[in-house]
Structure 1
Amino acid sequence: MFRLERDRERVREVIERVRGSRSLPEAFRLTVLEKGEKPALGEKVGGRWREFSYREVYRRVGDFAAGLAGLGVGPGSRVAIMSANRVGWTVADVAIMSLGAATVPIFPTLGPRQVEHILGDSEARVVVVEGERQLSAVRESGARVEHVVCMDEAAGGEGVLGFSEVERRGARSRDPAWEAKMLSLGREDVATLIYTSGTSGRQKGVILTHGNLLSNLEAIIEVVPITDDDVGLSILPLSHVLERTCSQFLNLVGGGTNYTAESVERVQENLLEVRPTALLVVPRLFERVFAVIREQGTANPVRARIFESAVRTARAKYRHDAGEERMGPARRLLYRFYDLLVYRKVRAGLGGRVRFCVSGGARLEPWLGEFFYGAGIPVAEGYGLTETSPVISVNRFDDLRFGTVGPPLPNVEVRLSEGGEILVRGPNVTPGYHNLPEENAAAFTGDGWFRTGDIGEFDEGGRLKITDRAKDIMVLDTGKNVAPQPVETALANAPHIAQAMLVGDGRKFVAALVVPDFDAIRRTLGENLPAEHLCSDGRARELIRSEMEEATAGFPEHERPKKFALVPREWTEEGGEITPTLKLRRSAVAARHAHLVEELYASEGGRQLTRS
């Protein structure tokens, strides 16, 4: 296993700094006092990377806080931020908290109806938006807000304040007692109100205190080998608690440098420019990187055989290091050969100096984790929820076990209910949902454990394994239960399948809605046909059928789809089928394709998967 060296004394100092802080702004202030002019954040400005030192970010936080105070923001206020990742997001976030107010993140792609609910329910009277799109969503929502602050100065207009104008106002009206008031905040004070992205139902506001987040940071620093020399690239949205805790705040209290990716489309380019040493990502990034490598490596039959052997050898390297099998001299020599031919290119594609990655937000296929480990990029899969600040458990780099999400964090307790539901208790757990007393009563057991809604089990080493969401479990009319996510993940990793969702609750068998990877199919067939034509093309359907059989071969018979239907359009956030954190909105997908689902269960509907 990987032995990532750490200066234990420096780690202990950071942990003590976090442990001794009563609020997130205070922990950041202590880092500023130590790091001063060291770069804290970076972003592209005018096509060039610009860095902001710890001292400069802190000055901007103070200026923006003073500007917000002039708008009436104070203890107990709620201020919303609706923007893509940028330095201004972090400045606003820390400034809001420093005033004793709570930050309310809103995903920048949400529409007016969702924005209206979040602003109304949280009672936010000030909202910070990125640009014209977000400004329009706020205006069209009809929500009653007193002030709108826009980061993009050109997108303002009447009644809208520019972000830099608020900073300038604040610089002229600094409260000499601002720091003293900030240092009087307590761990029990509310730091943020996060509305869950919602795979079903109306979004709920999760209350997180300074103590919740600080306790989680303390435990993460203890087990994840991050150092103040590390460089990160912020890819996931700061509107999501995973990026906010494990990238933004982990950096601000840990002393590293964090750059902001320009967009999802430019992540690959930004990786090569920033050359991060540590990455926080969702499994989809690894899937995309592997798909690119696979496409390049299978251009002809000879290269395809070499690539397949390289994948097997990388996985064998993991199993050797894990003590599961022995690599003989011949395979070790082959590994060194593939390191020069294949694995080096994988590392270069991520910038060339990544020491480790942490994966969360969805299930990472074990074989994919094994491949990247063998390619020299160890990946630790973790697990958590918005309600738990978010991390509950994470794999340790000196004992990685793919297929698990590792042991619980040192200050987090986990137990399983009789039905296998994961229950959590610890200082990171939310005190409850905003304005939802009935939800709060249902969310906790009588003795105070939080119900995650996830089903899991522990392996022999005390590592947690997630089997599925309790509410996503399908029950066939035979009485058998089906956990859809593992099967869906296996299908989506097939070369010609982009997305998949199982259906079958209350039915006799499981079926699947499948979105093909149309570009891959076009390359395979050598024809540039429209998506609708490919969905009915016999060759394309046979290709999908064959891959589905292979992908699900290791699953129990009752979990393997008996029929499938091809969908001609990708499921997207804009289309309402996935959440901003890339989770399927199962009810929305099922409703949109209700006719296909009914056809699958009609006597002649769908395509039957044969079994050999």
Structure 2
Amino acid sequence: METSGDTRSAGGAAARSESGEVRSLVGMLRRSVERRGGNTAYGWKDGGEWRTLSYVGLWNRVRDVAAGLARLGVGRGDRVALMSTNRIEWPLVDFAVQSLGAATVPVYPTVEASQVAHILGNSGAKVIFTENARLAERVASVRDEVESLENVVVIEGEYEDALRFSEVEKSGKDEPLEGWEEGWKALGREDLATIIYTSGTTGLPKGAMLTHGNILANLEGIQAALPTNADDVFLSFLPLSHVFERTAGQYNALWAGAATYYAESIDTVPENLREVKPTVMSSVPRLYEKMHDRVRAMVAEGPASRQRIFNAAIEAGKKRYEHETRGEKVPLGLRLKMKLFDRLVFGKLREAVGGRPRFFVSGGAKLDGEVGKFFHAAGVKVMEGYGLTETSPVVACNRLESVRFGTVGKPLENLEVRIGEGGEVQVKGPSVFKGYLDNPEANEAAFTEDGFYRTGDVGELDEEGYLTITDRLKNLLVLSTGKNVAPQPIEAALATAKHISQAVVLGDGKKYVSALIVPDYETVRKTLGVEKDDRELSQDERVRELIQRDLDEACGRFSDYERPKKFELLSRELTQEDGELTPTLKVKNRVVRDRYEDVIQKLYA
């Protein structure tokens, strides 16, 4: 039993919910169908127009797809893979698979063929749904390596030797599955719902097994912390292949009987926000940082009078937040100021995100506290949370009435969280997964002797129970001077600077910290009044001077040994397509270090 380290715990009380009647995710959906029948469940763009599907319509299509899958031989204990971007067929397949007692295996559309082969083979997938012929071709290239795979289904278009999604659904509609309702009603919380393969930066991905009970317990904890209701409207654009969007978006909305609209793409999010007018949205910090930077840049281009009003409004909003954090009543004068600023400034900012945000959620990486305070001042409450695939995923989140920027909030009520040896965050509770598929060695390493899951993250719990995540254990930089540096907070601070788009902080085993920086080249061009391309600008000494000023300002709050002493500019953004970012837009440090080895050597020459 572990006794070293800070062993303070938070949480532990059972979350209040109406879960007694819900034994599976399919049962959860059925409950919302009975309560919300004709309400919109999903919306999506088709030919430039928004289409919708009601809860009853969703249920009927799930039933038909399930019957079609049963005709392909899918039943209890089987695995069905799904390789697609977000679209209406995603939840149709997900619930159809689960209703048969089988488990859904999401596969990112961006993974290479060798990883597709590993995921399909390791999970024993019997059927795979691919979004289009291009992805079906990728599966076909490794099909001989996957003995379990019997059928490929293409959602959009056609591919040789593959079934069409419409055919599978129609076959189920024409010949309903006898006993289907009895089958899904027999599911229990202990039954496997999904196998999600971790998108780690090293080695082959591991299949985390999540049961219906794991995800339902997480939903109960989320609802107790940040309740949603049938009047809410969600905008979904993070990949459903990742557990964050799947639980906090898809399942959370369906639990409440709310409507979910799929954004057309990440590039159309600003436009879709104005069209859909969501009340709830989940995102990674990158989107909020970009929105923050875009607003700041627009203000900077305006007249000095407008800049003064804007800056005064933001400062007033931060002062209100400080009073609220200390539990103090906001002074009358400040309340009156905020009403004025709401008319002059903040109302326009809220209109840019649809005009009626109740709260947005940030997860997947660290949100810079200044960005959170910026949105909070404008009445757009960004609730930062924390979680992992293995915890279904949410471990902690801020609450509307007690947000604390710089932290990930308090643990969910039905979880026990402690700080173990080396400052590691450790978790126990009903939403912690049952282990990795066919990987006893990884399972043994994943848990402490007394049953806590080892997250691999370094963190602190304060006296009020707020959790702060410093970084990943494996990401900590140990300088040759003996100092430990957590790069994530530094990278988050740099990403908010006016002329910086992305930053990777380096220095493990070295004498000092350095950074690879991708400038925000569009903003740089405006500031300098030049039309040079990105590569030319990356070599321009004037750009280096701008970045140095931004770096000095952004890193002012860090200790001297934590601030990057040197930096090099990269001529292009790090992208998921080039294998440099995970699906939640975290940097794959090993890939970046290998790819820019020559550049890094210059920093330490």
Same fold (TM over 0.5): yes
TM-superposed CA distance for 1:466, in Å, is 0.5
Give the CA deviation at 1:331: 4.4
Tell which deviates more after alignment, 142-151 or 263-272: 142-151
Distance 1:343 1:138 in 2: 49
> 1:478 and 2:481 equivalent?
yes
**Alpha-carbon separation, structure 2, partners of 1:314 and 1:35:** 38
Q: Look up the match of 2:110.
A: 109
Query: Which deviations, in whole Å up to 9, do the C-alpha atoms of 1:94-115 show, x marking residues without a partner?
Result: 0000111110001122221221
Where do 5+ consecutive residues of structure 1 fail to align? 1-10, 603-612
Contact 1:416-1:423 at 8 Å conserved across structures: yes
The separation in 1 between residues aligned to 2:408 and 2:344, in whole angstroms, is 31
Letter in 2 for 1:200: T
**Kept after mapping to 1: 8 A contact 2:289/2:495:** no
Contact 2:136 2:159 in 1 (8 A): no
- Structure 1 position 311, deviation (Å): 2.2
Amino acid at match of 1:68: L
Find the aligned partners of 2:173 and 2:97 in 1 and give their Cα distance. 16
Contact residue 458 and residue 464 of structure 1 kept, 8 A: yes
Render the CA deviation track for 1:368-404: whole Å, top value 9, x for unaligned.
Answer: 1112111111221111100000011111111111111
- Per-residue Cα deviation, 1:298-327 (whole angstroms, up to 9, x for no partner): 114603333333322221221122237786
Mapping 1:312-391, distance limit 5 Å: 312-323=315-326, 331-391=334-394
In 2: Cα distance, 1:276 partner to 1:249 partner: 17
CA contact (8 A) 2:133 2:159 kept: no
Q: Secondary structure at the match of 1:34?
A: helix
- Indicate the residue corresponding to 1:151 in structure 2: 155
Instruction: Give the structure 2 partner of residue 500 of structure 1.
Output: 503
1:6: which partner in 2?
none
Spell out, residue by residue over 1:128-159, the C-alpha distance to the aligned partner (whole angstroms, 9 max, x if none): 1111332222223344332111111x2x1321
1:277 aligns with 2:279: yes
Does structure 1 residue 576 correspond to structure 2 residue 579? yes
Q: Which residue of 1 aligns with 2:214?
A: 212
User: Matches of residues 409-558 of structure 1 in structure 2 within 5 Å?
Assistant: 409-558=412-561
AA of the residue aligned to 1:166:
V
Q: Is the 8 A contact 1:80 1:103 kept in 2?
A: yes
Are positions 1:392 and 2:395 aligned together?
yes
1:179 corresponds in structure 2 to 181
Residue-by-residue CA offset, 1:500-559 (whole Å, 9 max, x unaligned)? 011110011111011111111111111111222111111000100111011101101111
Q: Quick one: which amino acid aligns to residue 73 of structure 2?
A: G
Equivalent residues of 1:393, 1:408 under 8 A apart:
yes
SS at match of 2:312: helix
Aligned residue number for residue 125 of structure 1: 126
- Larger mean CA deviation between 441-450 and 216-225 belongs to 216-225
Q: 2:196 aligns with which of 189, 194, 197?
A: 194
In 2, the alpha carbon distance for the partners of 1:120 and 1:20 equals 36
1: distance between equivalents of 2:20 and 2:202?
Answer: 37
1:259-278 matches, cutoff 5 A: 259-278=261-280
Q: Secondary structure at the match of 1:507?
A: coil
Q: Is this contact kept in 2: 1:315–1:367, CA < 8 A?
A: no
Q: How many positions carry a matched residue from both structures?
A: 587
1:7 is matched with none
Q: Which amino acid in structure 2 is aligned with residue 80 of structure 1?
A: A
Where does residue 94 of structure 1 map in the other structure?
95
Is the 8 Å Cα contact of residues 65 and 98 (structure 1) preserved in structure 2?
yes
In structure 2, what is the Cα distance between the partners aligned to 1:478 and 1:325? 44
Q: Deviations over 1:550-606 (max 9, x none)?
A: 11011011111111111111100111111111111000001100001111100xxxx
Distance of aligned partners of 1:38 and 1:301 in 2 relative to their CA distance in 1, 3 Å threshold:
closer
The 2-side partners of 1:351 and 1:252 are apart by 21
Deviations 1:255-279 (A, max 9, x none): 1111111111111111111111112
Instruction: Look up the SS of the partner of 1:380 in the other structure.
Output: strand
For the 8 Å contact 1:354–1:377, the answer to whether it is kept is yes
What's the CA shift string for 1:305-355, capped at 9, x where partnerless? Answer: 333333222212211222377865654444333212221111001100111
Deviates more, 1:163-172 or 1:293-302: 293-302
Q: State the match for 2:41 in structure 1.
A: 40
Cα deviation for residue 283 of structure 1 reads 1.6
Contact 1:238 1:244 in 2 (8 A): yes
- How far apart are the structure 1 equivalents of 2:36 and 2:140? 41
The letter of the residue matching 2:604 is: Y
Supply the AA of the counterpart residue of 1:247.
Answer: G
CA distance in 2, matches of 1:374, 1:536: 38
Partners of 1:342 and 1:479 in 2: how far apart?
48
**Contact 1:314–1:372 (Cα < 8 Å) also in 2:** no
Deviation at 1:201, TM superposition (A): 2.4
1 CA distance for matches of 2:434 and 2:142? 29
RMSD: 1.6
| CA distance in structure 2 between the aligned counterparts of 1:400 and 1:541, rounded to whole angstroms | 37
Residue type at the aligned position of 2:94: D
What is the CA-CA distance between 1:46 and the residue it aligns to? 2.2
Return the alpha-carbon distance in structure 2 between the equivalents of residues 20 and 328 of structure 1. 47
> Tell me, what secondary structure is at the counterpart of 1:244?
helix
Partner of 2:409: 406
Stretches of structure 2 lacking an aligned partner (at least 5 in a row): 1-14
* Deviations 1:178-218, CA, capped at 9 Å, x for gaps: 11011111211110000111123221111001110111111
In the alignment, residue 116 of structure 1 is paired with which amino acid? A
Q: Which has the higher contact order (CA 8 A, sep 6+)?
A: 2
Whether 2:46 is the aligned partner of 1:54: answer: no
Note closer, same or farther for the CA distance 1:31–1:330 as it changes in structure 2 (3 Å cut).
Answer: closer
Cα distance in 2, alignment partners of residues 19 and 379 from structure 1: 31
The separation in 2 between residues aligned to 1:45 and 1:575, in whole angstroms, is: 29
